[in-house]
């Protein structure tokens, strides 16, 4: 049996997906192949470059009973279907204790899952809560402004991605990406993530996915300890022998460190204890909100069938010299989330439920922060973010209200900073209209102004005066990188594996999950399971 992917089959937006199967059959017939069966959509995306001729571009998976030559593949614009599973190699060194995974975001989940399913019985330590308690903690913050610094939108089961749009897009070209999508689907993610070019789960479904992944890890022999924050690492020579927590010390045969990009106390501990930590470029900015209907009309036209196309999304960028301004984590039909994790600081992020049915579209507009902007020092990188968040807290009235400004006022087109058609969604509008130049560095606001004006050329109405900016978006990525060697271990260590977005090696759910898998594979290549 031969399995192929026939690529770049475009159909009118008015046609059902079955029409793509008809065109796929014609492609096969054009090179003399008949008898294809089991046609399925492999990937599906919307091409709206021409609003009067919106197309659905698909890749179709098909099974054949015949062999196919390379020449036939080329003529059809087809490739052979590759099914990739992690290649497990078990090392010869026996661990002195069970492995420990610190952090239960995407990297920690997939590292623990692979270890558990191969007999390693990992112990997972997560500083935040399990899903039900974490949801309750975030609700308390949004409704009563009571912040739990260890269980919030940044920390807890599933990591920061649990309270997001649940986007699964990635620029990482790793064959394990498809494996991650299939596992997420098995844990309850919707069928569409297996074929949409821009898949997303939504925060509501993602919570169930995380709970099901947790059950699978425990069933396979792993343990998960919530409300257990790592406070230190004990080592002998170049080997980690135990992980210290606020309550006790846990023996450790190997450590996968996947703390998430907001674990500033962990970064500080590592820096103070001579780990090799490098500062890196990152980005800060704002969330911009429009009416989702305006974005749909601008990109698809007023007569587009949204039930067929889904709400419109955009990706925008502009560069001046070394610095850029770009859209990030666009949330159609979503809300601006309250993402603080430190007392006295305000942070925003974007979040959508699977249905994406809220009134507003929101998106981060982020500006590059270069190492030279903060002194090229890891602790200074963290402090750069923190100072912006504290200024925002003060500007909002020292009560976790977010500073906001209309685009018209931000661009100096109007003296009026009053809200219009677009009502901000952060904590149901819990904000203070102010001048965002009192919160963000001038080089950030200057390039944001330039970006908003230029993006109007791409999307009519993007710079509408009643669009709302909410600040600050400071957690786009980790500001530092925990350096590691070619074997995936931290420099100077033989059994400590920094992993995921918090270690500086990923930028989203899928890429972090893949990095977690790679860390687990590195560990297993060296060590066999601990036997007690």
Summarised one tens digit per residue, pLDDT across range 173-224 is 788 999 999 999 999 999 999 999 889 999 999 999 999 999 999 999 999 9
List the structure tokens of 98: 């069970």
The partner residues of 319 in beta bridges, in order of sequence, read 324
Write out the DSSP string of 312-324: -----EEEETTEE
pLDDT for position 358: 96
The model's confidence at residue 391, banded by pLDDT at 50, 70 and 90, is: very high
Read off the pTM.
0.95
Burial of 71 (0-12, 13-18, 19+ CB in 10 A): exposed
Over the range 455-494, which residues count as b (16 or more CB within 10 Å of their CB) and which as e?
beeebeebbbebbbbbbbbbbbbbbbbbebeeebbbeebb
Contact 183, 160 (CB under 8 A): no
The model's confidence at residue 401, banded by pLDDT at 50, 70 and 90, is: very high
- Specify the pairing of strand 78-80 against strand 255-257: unpaired
| pLDDT above 90: residue 459 | yes
Average pLDDT, the chain: 95
Q: To which residue do tokens 């661009």 refer?
A: 411
Mean pLDDT of 363-376: 97
pLDDT for position 197: 87
Q: To which residue do tokens 């990030």 refer?
A: 328
The model's confidence at residue 342, banded by pLDDT at 50, 70 and 90, is: very high
Angle between helices 203-219 and 131-144 (to 10 degrees): 150
pLDDT, one tens digit per residue, over 280-326 is 999 999 999 999 999 999 999 998 899 899 999 999 999 999 999 99
Burial of 267 (0-12, 13-18, 19+ CB in 10 A): buried
d(CA 175, CA 184): 15
| pLDDT above 90: residue 371 | yes
| pLDDT above 80: residue 36 | no
pLDDT for position 505: 96
| pLDDT above 80: residue 37 | no
pLDDT, one tens digit per residue, over 461-511 is 999 999 999 999 999 999 999 999 999 999 999 999 999 999 999 999 999
d(CA 136, CA 248): 27
| pLDDT above 80: residue 532 | no
pLDDT for position 2: 87
Contact 187, 216 (CB under 8 A): yes
Biggest CA pair distance of the chain: 72
The model's confidence at residue 1, banded by pLDDT at 50, 70 and 90, is: confident
The model's confidence at residue 417, banded by pLDDT at 50, 70 and 90, is: confident
């Amino acid at each position: 049996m031969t399995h192929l992917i026939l690529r770049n089959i475009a159909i009118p937006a008015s046609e059902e997906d079955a029409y793509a199967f008809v065109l796929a059959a014609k492609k096969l017939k054009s090179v003399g192949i008949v008898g294809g069966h089991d046609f399925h959509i492999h990937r599906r995306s919307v091409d709206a470059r021409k609003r009067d001729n919106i197309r659905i571009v698909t890749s179709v998976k098909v099974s054949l009973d015949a062999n196919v030559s390379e020449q036939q593949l080329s003529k059809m614009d087809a490739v052979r279907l590759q099914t990739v599973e992690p290649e497990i190699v078990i090392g010869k060194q026996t661990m002195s204790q069970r492995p420990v995974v610190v952090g239960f975001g995407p990297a920690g989940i997939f590292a623990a899952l692979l270890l558990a399913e191969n007999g390693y019985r990992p112990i997972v330590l997560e500083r935040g809560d399990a899903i039900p308690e974490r949801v309750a903690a975030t609700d308390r913050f949004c409704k009563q402004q009571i912040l739990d610094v260890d269980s919030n939108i940044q920390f807890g089961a599933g990591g920061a991605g649990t309270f997001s749009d649940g986007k699964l897009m990635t620029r990482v070209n790793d064959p394990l990406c498809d494996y991650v999508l299939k596992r997420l689907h098995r844990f309850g993610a919707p069928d569409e993530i297996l074929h949409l070019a821009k898949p997303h789960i939504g925060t509501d479904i993602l919570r169930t996915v995380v709970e099901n992944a947790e059950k699978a890890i425990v069933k396979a022999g792993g343990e998960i300890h919530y409300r257990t924050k790592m406070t230190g690492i004990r080592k002998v020579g170049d080997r980690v022998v135990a992980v210290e927590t606020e309550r006790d010390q846990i023996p450790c045969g190997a450590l996968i460190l996947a703390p998430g990009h907001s674990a500033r106390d962990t970064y500080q501990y590592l820096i103070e204890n001579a780990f090799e930590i490098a500062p890196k470029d990152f980005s800060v900015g704002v969330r911009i909100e429009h009416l989702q209907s305006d974005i749909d009309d601008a990109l698809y036209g007023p007569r587009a069938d949204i039930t067929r196309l889904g709400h419109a999304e955009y990706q925008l960028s502009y560069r001046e010299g070394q610095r850029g301004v770009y859209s990030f984590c666009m949330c159609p039909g979503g809300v601006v989330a309250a993402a603080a994790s430190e007392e006295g600081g305000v942070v925003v992020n974007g979040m959508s439920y699977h249905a994406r049915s809220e009134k507003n579209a929101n998106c981060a507009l982020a500006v590059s922060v270069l190492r030279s902007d903060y002194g090229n020092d890891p602790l200074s990188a963290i402090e750069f973010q923190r100072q912006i968040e504290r200024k925002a807290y003060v500007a909002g009235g020292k009560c976790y209200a977010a500073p906001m400004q209309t685009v018209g006022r931000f661009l100096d087109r109007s003296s009026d900073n009053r809200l219009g058609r677009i009502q901000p969604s952060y904590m149901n509008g819990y904000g203070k209209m102010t001048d965002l130049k009192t919160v963000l560095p001038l080089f950030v606001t200057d390039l944001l102004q330039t970006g908003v004006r230029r993006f109007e050329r791409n999307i009519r109405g993007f710079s509408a005066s009643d669009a709302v900016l909410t600040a600050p978006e400071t957690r786009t990525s980790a500001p530092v990188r925990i350096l590691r060697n070619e074997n995936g271990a931290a420099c100077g260590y033989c059994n400590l594996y920094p992993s995921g977005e918090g270690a500086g090696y990923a930028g989203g759910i899928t890429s972090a999950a893949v990095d977690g898998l790679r860390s687990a594979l590195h560990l297993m290549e060296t060590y066999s399971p601990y036997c007690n």
